Structure 1
Amino acid sequence: MLRAFSTGSVYMNATPVSFLPSSLTDAPQGHLPRMARTHPALWTSLRSQVPSAIASLGARVHLLPSSLPEEERRRRMELVRVACTHPSALAVQVAARELALSHTERDEVPELQETIEHNAQLATLGNALLGLLASEYFHLKYPHLPTRVLKAFVSAYVGPSTLANVGAELGVLGQGVQRWDRTGASVVVRPLARGGTTSVPLLSKDVAAQSMRALVAVLFQELGMAATRGFVHGQILSRRLDLANLLKFRDPKRVLSSTCKKYGKPAPQSRLLAETGRLSINPVFVVGVFCGPVKLGEGTGSSIRMAEYRAAEDALRRLYLSERTDGTFVLPSTTLDVSRAGHGPMPHSLQNAAARFMSTRFEAQPLGRSEVLHESRG
């Protein structure tokens, strides 16, 4: 049935629904198969993606430029379609085949006999590529990061939540794009913080994150390492996150002392820089941490001990988050630009992003000093 809504002055003269001609109000008979009416959740999860939606997504991720030949376009559209097919679609197909449907009803749903290709293998490759590109970039940009913090940086930038948000912005959750189990029967096994695992229902954000990993793998397969690196840096690693909150210290003064000793510097000393209202109900103290004549950090607090604690934290954050400017270091993945060049020319839309980190000559970067191991049994 066609419905006419009046929501503004533009539609003030719209014809009411009850006065529409009968030829327009009658819905076409047999427009949907019977399964769509009896089992709508299974039908929605089983139906194939819309080609126009897949083509739009492929164009947004630089896989379908306008100059692409028709045969190559069809092949890449099929890859994008597979990248947007979650493995849970197989369980939906099995459940639909077990329904009590007649031969006529089964013939109305060609997806029941389809061989579904999903994105599990592509997502595994894409996850490895994302970890590689993020790890090498943050390791060289922040050379003093401890290993744990580096892992936290990588998880914050290319983890499931971030990939789901990026995918939603690119349209991987758009109508007619994804193919996955929308019935709520599928579950995802996730590790717990204190060990063990737990099973939670499969959500759309999990599907979006897996599709983003698979799309990165398709980019690598079709366009090569340089284009993939340009896409990942342009869409994911260029985002600004509050990385200082990822640095947590139980005893920052002891960590700072160990760090200064590791670098052969004098032991840090705390000095009271300013204070106000010592005898009032709201005193404020400003403490600085010095290594010789150099001030490493500064902190404020309602007590001297609190200000000293925050000053040591500030000094460690200044050390660990000291970054190098892009372009002053060469990423190791640039050595794969020639051997992993892809099957076709790089799209013009990715050339500028890829050129930022391309280099004709690789120069190995110094590893730096080993990190200070604190709060460790070893």
Structure 2
Amino acid sequence: MSFLRSIACVMALAKPINTTGTVQTRRHFKRWVSPTLRELAHRVKKQGPQKPEPRSGFVEWNYRSELFAFGKRLNEEFQLPLLQTAFTQRAYAHQEQERQRKLGIAEADLQTGDNDQLIAKGAHIAKAYVEAYVKHSLPKVPAVGQKAIASYLLSTETLSNVSSHLGTKELIFSTEYPPSSDTLAQTLQAIIGALADSSGVERAFLFVRDFICTQLNQKDLLDIWTPQQPLELLSEVCNQRNLGDIEPRLLGDCGKNTILATFHVGIYANRQLLGKGFGENVQTATKTAAIDALQTLFEMHENRRPFDFQIQLETKNVRLG
């Protein structure tokens, strides 16, 4: 019995009850309550932190009902056998087959499916849609930037975070508990694959848009992708757009020749100010100004037009092949 349950039992026993069976409003704790709570706390501290227990070990757990509720929470129609397969890791399937074999169950009954195929299918669908969405939403960002942003959305960290908040942790059949970030991310990909088989690829695309692409909301894109050589890239972009040669100019400085020196640099092209930046020296300020100019040209500033998370990209614009 856990520490919290023990405390609840103790407090319940400590409540004074009158002859009618109702709890009195005035509480008088028995003198044995305090020593008992101290002893329980001492035992918990001695044994160390309690290991997390999966919800599937509780008496009232109904896995089929949980699967049905999972689909309804997401407002999606899943085939329950497919959804169950999406939550079954290969290691768990092999472990279950070995357990059944030891119990003498016939080989024909050892058909425990795993989610490897659904993971591959879901990963392919998610990658195709995310890349198409980023390309459509940020058309002025170069390919290297679009690739970096798409990689962020498809990273294990992002996918596992989305998967965890969707409530997959307690539904996963795995040999480990709690499941690792890789397991959570793979499960989300398998769910996308199961949704495509259950309701069609279009619904899977909308699922990716609603739960993965929305991770860009209120995100500073500069935290995801920062140009490594901003001056060279800015010069290349200006030449491509016929904006002229770039020209850094010192706009001001303060605290020169001190440890608190600050320089203000502007980047010009054809007498037009493209960006401004500050730094402890001219080189740093120039680099910051170049990044600011690139943000303006690529429409990556924080005050840019918000992402459209209600857009429905046409299937022909999403390359699955």
TM-score normalised per structure 1: 0.62
Q: Residue 80 of structure 2 is aligned with which of 77, 80, 84? A: 77
Equivalenced residue count is 271
Q: Residue 235 of structure 1 is aligned with which of 198, 211, 218? A: 211
Match in the other structure for 2:51: none
Q: Report the alpha carbon displacement of residue 112 of structure 1 after superposing the two structures with TM.
A: 11
Match in the other structure for 1:182: 176
Match in the other structure for 2:275: 297
- Structure with bigger helix share is 2
Match in the other structure for 1:62: 75
Match in the other structure for 1:272: 250
The whole-number CA distance in structure 2 between the counterparts of 1:98 and 1:309 is: 65
Paired-residue identity, %:
23
One-letter amino acid of the structure 1 residue matched with residue 277 of structure 2: G
Q: Quick check: 1:54–1:77 contact (8 Å CA) kept in 2?
A: yes
Q: CA RMSD in A?
A: 3.7
The whole-number CA distance in structure 2 between the counterparts of 1:49 and 1:130 is: 30
Q: Residue 164 of structure 1 is aligned with which of 146, 149, 160? A: 160
Q: How does 1:94-109 map to 2 (within 5 A)?
A: 94-96=97-99, 106=103
Q: Report the alpha carbon displacement of residue 276 of structure 1 after superposing the two structures with TM.
A: 1.5
Q: Quick check: 2:243–2:269 contact (8 Å CA) kept in 1?
A: yes
Deviations 1:241-291 (A, max 9, x none): 332123333432122112211222210111122222224331111111011
Deviations 1:107-142 (A, max 9, x none): 7x9999441011111111111111111111100111
Report SS of the residue matched to 1:6.
helix
The whole-number CA distance in structure 1 between the counterparts of 2:240 and 2:154 is: 32
Report SS of the residue matched to 2:212.
helix
One-letter amino acid of the structure 1 residue matched with residue 286 of structure 2: E
One-letter amino acid of the structure 2 residue matched with residue 63 of structure 1: E
Residues 10 and 155 (structure 1), Cα distance of their counterparts in 2 relative to 1, 3 Å cut: farther
Q: What 5-or-longer segments of structure 2 have no aligned partner? A: 18-53
Match in the other structure for 1:244: 222
Match in the other structure for 2:24: none
Q: Quick check: 1:5–1:11 contact (8 Å CA) kept in 2?
A: no
The whole-number CA distance in structure 2 between the counterparts of 1:329 and 1:77 is: 29
Q: Residue 223 of structure 1 is aligned with which of 199, 223, 228? A: 199
Match in the other structure for 2:141: 145
Q: Quick check: 2:85–2:113 contact (8 Å CA) kept in 1?
A: yes
TM-score normalised per structure 2: 0.72
Q: Quick check: 2:244–2:270 contact (8 Å CA) kept in 1?
A: yes
The whole-number CA distance in structure 2 between the counterparts of 1:246 and 1:259 is: 20
Residues 53 and 271 (structure 1), Cα distance of their counterparts in 2 relative to 1, 3 Å cut: same
Q: Quick check: 1:266–1:292 contact (8 Å CA) kept in 2?
A: yes
The whole-number CA distance in structure 1 between the counterparts of 2:129 and 2:122 is: 11
Match in the other structure for 1:214: 190
The whole-number CA distance in structure 2 between the counterparts of 1:327 and 1:237 is: 8
Q: Quick check: 1:252–1:313 contact (8 Å CA) kept in 2?
A: yes
Q: Quick check: 2:262–2:279 contact (8 Å CA) kept in 1?
A: yes
Report SS of the residue matched to 1:296.
strand
Q: How does 1:258-337 map to 2 (within 5 A)?
A: 258-322=236-300, 326=308, 331-333=313-315
Report SS of the residue matched to 1:238.
helix
Moved more, 138-147 or 225-234: 225-234
One-letter amino acid of the structure 1 residue matched with residue 210 of structure 2: G
The whole-number CA distance in structure 2 between the counterparts of 1:83 and 1:59 is: 16
Match in the other structure for 1:5: 7
Larger RCO: 1 or 2 (CA < 8 Å, sep 6+)? 1
The whole-number CA distance in structure 1 between the counterparts of 2:155 and 2:16 is: 49
One-letter amino acid of the structure 1 residue matched with residue 284 of structure 2: M
